[in-house]
């Protein structure tokens, strides 16, 4: 800092440096101690990161509870955002466990009651923490806990800036709904995460074995399997089990451990209102993850997910010294530039459990909304590598296989036949366009076949995530692709009605004939919409493979090697968080790419037919992706994402219905 004064506090010495901020020990004129977090200069021009920093300050300054770290003020000095916070002496629980400490039953019950009281207070204020874990629970010198890091907290009135499908939080402690869809979580998520945290504290080890499980397997366990409580006392098993219900509606409100005595520790559970549906995320995937809110020298455990690097990922979080008089500490060495940066934590998706792969960074860089503060190098590949199909020149071999996904069951076909034929009788295919009542509604653009390098290539610079590697040679046969994402007009013409999931199409998100259709799950598209469209037109439309999608987004055989689809300037071709006004836009509002395709970057993510999985390093012809996975690929980024590079990959579970995910059609003629 050029200026050693922040408001009326003098910065005396640096306590530590995290991934996004540095923390200083400071005192005012009467000797009051404070910790001052200052955003690093290189991030001060990034609107998303600054917004996340401001979000943390906005949340913390309005909270007044003895078990929540207090923030005194927020300001900007020399162009750098600064937050003045309560100075703490002690250690976070993660650090204490790393030092081999085990906790008594009395300590744990006391801490549970204090945290439950603090969370009931924040939830009553309309705030959801979203990243509860041992490293965000600080124990002071009196043995009382303080909740830390509200950097990705959800506020009722704020506008979410999390990437579509991106995860916001730390995977190990996420609730099932947080893994699946980070945009629709509430106080029940904090309740689940707190219970998992106490399982960790009671067992003395992480609730999931990260030495034998990859991120995908952990996600699958969170969503599908009950957490093993056999290693903790029966009393705690009975107490925690209801809070670990997979269905958030089945989780009870937080109560004191000995709830029958409501005055235990002064804790009386208040009525907790549900946060508003408009509740917002912090700056995203675009920033998610631990903040540099714990000062000192000991490094906390890693794992926060974010879309852009977390304010301070856990690997960079420093714990405050327990010594009475803080001493200057050596500054940590910076990470090598060659390392991939932390995954933004994707987010909505996570929406979002991943394919059989060892995953994304985490999530945080979002269309499943999504945030991924996982280290990109920790986003490991799926067990099943992509399968190369040796199809003929026309690509008919893999076309047949892909069409199998779009076949309706007999029951679904009967159900669809009962819908209004009147509303869809005018849908035909003529002269390269889907026609509705004689007028062109959806134009198809020819993409000549060719060979290209798929994955993280030179034009992406250092922005790639581990799941975009290895770059490999892919050959695709020619096909036709929709000029735009499927519009609401086409969906209604084919289906005769709008989707109703999660409130359907709304003017607040984007509503109108020329807006992308959204809130359709993968199954809705391949089992209902596409079969019905094919019946009406006599054609064989389908979703693109991931390889076809990236080839087309790059411009096919006309590619100029752009970072985004059609330009190196994202603002020319994509509606993203910085320019979208917090909603999607009508199609064709930005420049087209070299092939005349619009919105391949930004606006809404797009479903692909592939299972999400790791890349193979071998050359491939018309690849179809992994052989199995819990998730399907999304591509292109969205209005809720901060990127939209042509190589960036996201994923959603096929039954998710996100406001940030649409689709585009292809056909082989």
pLDDT digits (tens, 9 = 90+) for 313-358: 332 233 343 333 333 333 333 332 233 333 333 333 333 333 333 3
Is the CB of residue 340 less than 8 Å from the CB of residue 78? no
Specify the pLDDT at position 210: 66
At 153 the pLDDT is: 54
Length of the chain as a residue count: 669
pLDDT of residue 642: 59
Of the candidates 436, 102, 154, 403, the one whose C-alpha atom is nearest the C-alpha of residue 274 is 154
CATH topology of domain 5-86: Phosphorylase Kinase; domain 1 (3.30.200)
What pLDDT, on the 0 to 100 scale, is given for residue 177?
A: 85
Burial 87-105 (b: 16+ CB within 10 A, else e): bbbbbbbbbbbbeeeebee
Low-confidence spans in the chain with pLDDT less than 70? 1, 151-169, 181-184, 210-216, 259-425, 641-642
- pLDDT recorded at residue 68: 94
Q: What is the pLDDT of residue 46?
A: 80
Name the residue among 600, 594, 583, 667 with its Cα closest to residue 634.
600
As a whole number of angstroms, the distance between CA 289 and CA 287 comes to: 7
Q: What is the DSSP string of 477-534?
A: --EEEESSSPBHHHHHHHHSS---GGG-S-TTT--STTSBP-S--HHHIIIIIHHHHH
**Rounded CA separation 69/586 (Å):** 44
| CATH number of the domain located at residue range(s) 382-667 in this protein | 3.90.1580.10
- 90-319 under CATH 1.10.510.10, yes or no: yes
Residues linked to residue 610 through DSSP beta bridges, in sequence order = none
- CATH 3.30.200.20 boundaries in the chain: 5-86
Residue 523 CA to residue 529 CA, distance in Å, equals 9
| Comma-separated ranges of CATH 3.90.1580.10 domains in the chain | 382-667
Structure tokens at 438: 């004689």
Report d(CA 197, CA 108) in Å as an integer.
Answer: 11
What pLDDT is stored for residue 181 in this prediction? 61
In this predicted structure, what is the pLDDT of residue 425?
63
- What pLDDT does residue 51 have? 83
Query: Residue 451 and residue 392: Cα distance in Å, rounded?
Result: 14
Which ranges in the chain are annotated with CATH 1.10.510.10? 90-319
- Model's pTM, two decimal places? 0.47
pLDDT at 500: 78
């Amino acid at each position: 800092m050029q200026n050693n004064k922040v408001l009326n506090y003098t910065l005396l010495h640096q306590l530590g440096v995290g991934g996004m901020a540095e923390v200083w020990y400071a005192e005012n004129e009467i000797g009051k101690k404070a910790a001052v977090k200052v955003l690093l200069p290189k991030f001060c021009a990034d609107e998303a990161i600054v917004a996340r920093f401001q979000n943390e300050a906005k949340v913390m300054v309005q909270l007044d509870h003895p078990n929540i770290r207090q923030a005194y003020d927020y300001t900007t000095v020399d162009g750098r955002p600064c937050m003045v916070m309560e100075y703490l002496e002690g250690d976070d629980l993660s650090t204490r466990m790393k030092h081999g400490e085990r906790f008594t039953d009395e300590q744990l019950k006391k801490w549970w009651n204090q945290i439950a009281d603090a969370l009931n207070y924040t939830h009553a204020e309309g705030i959801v923490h979203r990243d509860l874990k041992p490293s965000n629970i600080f124990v002071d010198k009196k043995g009382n806990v303080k909740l830390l890091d509200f950097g990705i907290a959800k506020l009722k009135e704020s506008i979410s800036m999390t990437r579509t499908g991106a995860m916001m939080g730390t995977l190990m402690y996420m609730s099932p709904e947080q893994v699946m869809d980070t945009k629709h979580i509430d106080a029940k998520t904090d309740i689940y995460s707190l219970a998992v945290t106490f399982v960790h504290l009671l067992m003395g080890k992480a609730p999931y074995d990260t030495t034998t499980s990859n991120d995908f397997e952990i996600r699958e366990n969170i969503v599908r399997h009950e957490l093993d409580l056999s290693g903790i006392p029966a009393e705690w098993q009975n107490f925690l089990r209801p809070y670990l219900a997979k269905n958030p509606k089945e989780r009870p409100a937080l109560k004191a451990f000995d709830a029958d005595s409501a005055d235990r520790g002064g804790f009386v559970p208040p009525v907790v209102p549900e946060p508003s549906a408009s509740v917002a995320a912090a700056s995203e995937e675009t920033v998610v993850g631990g903040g540099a809110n714990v000062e000192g020298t000991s490094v906390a455990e890693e794992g926060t997910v974010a879309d852009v690097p977390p304010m301070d990922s856990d690997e960079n979080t420093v714990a405050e010294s327990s010594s009475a008089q803080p001493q200057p500490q050596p500054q940590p060495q910076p990470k090598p530039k060659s390392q991939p940066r932390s995954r933004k934590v994707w987010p909505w998706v996570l929406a979002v459990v991943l394919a059989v792969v060892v995953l994304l960074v985490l999530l945080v860089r979002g269309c499943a909304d999504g945030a991924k503060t996982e280290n990109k190098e920790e986003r490991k590949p799926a067990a099943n590598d992509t399968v190369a199909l040796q199809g003929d020149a026309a690509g008919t071999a893999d076309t047949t296989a892909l069409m199998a996904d779009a076949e309706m069951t007999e029951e679904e076909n009967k159900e669809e036949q009962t819908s209004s034929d009147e509303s869809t009788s005018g849908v035909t295919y003529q002269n390269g366009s889907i026609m509705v009542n004689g007028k062109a509604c959806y134009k198809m653009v020819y993409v000549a076949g060719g060979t290209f390098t798929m994955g993280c290539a030179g034009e992406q610079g250092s922005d790639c995530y581990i799941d975009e590697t290895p770059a490999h040679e892919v050959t695709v046969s020619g096909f036709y692709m929709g000029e735009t994402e499927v519009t609401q007009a086409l969906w209604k013409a084919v289906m005769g009605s709008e989707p109703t999931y999660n409130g359907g199409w709304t003017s607040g998100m984007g509503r109108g004939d020329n807006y992308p259709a959204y809130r359709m799950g993968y199954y809705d598209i391949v089992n209902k919409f596409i079969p019905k469209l094919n019946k009406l037109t006599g054609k064989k439309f389908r979703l693109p493979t991931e390889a076809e999608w990236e080839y087309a987004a790059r411009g096919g055989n006309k590619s100029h090697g752009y970072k985004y689809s059609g330009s190196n300037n994202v603002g020319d071709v994509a509606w993203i968080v910085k320019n979208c006004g917090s909603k999607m836009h009508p199609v064709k509002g930005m420049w087209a790419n070299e092939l005349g395709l619009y919105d391949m970057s930004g606006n809404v993510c797009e479903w692909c037919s592939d299972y999400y999985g790791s890349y193979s390093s071998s050359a491939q012809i018309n690849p179809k992706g992994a052989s199995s996975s819990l998730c399907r690929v999304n591509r292109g980024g969205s209005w809720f994402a901060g990127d939209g590079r042509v190589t960036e990959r996201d994923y959603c579970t096929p039954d998710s219905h996100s406001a940030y995910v649409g689709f585009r059609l292809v056909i082989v003629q």
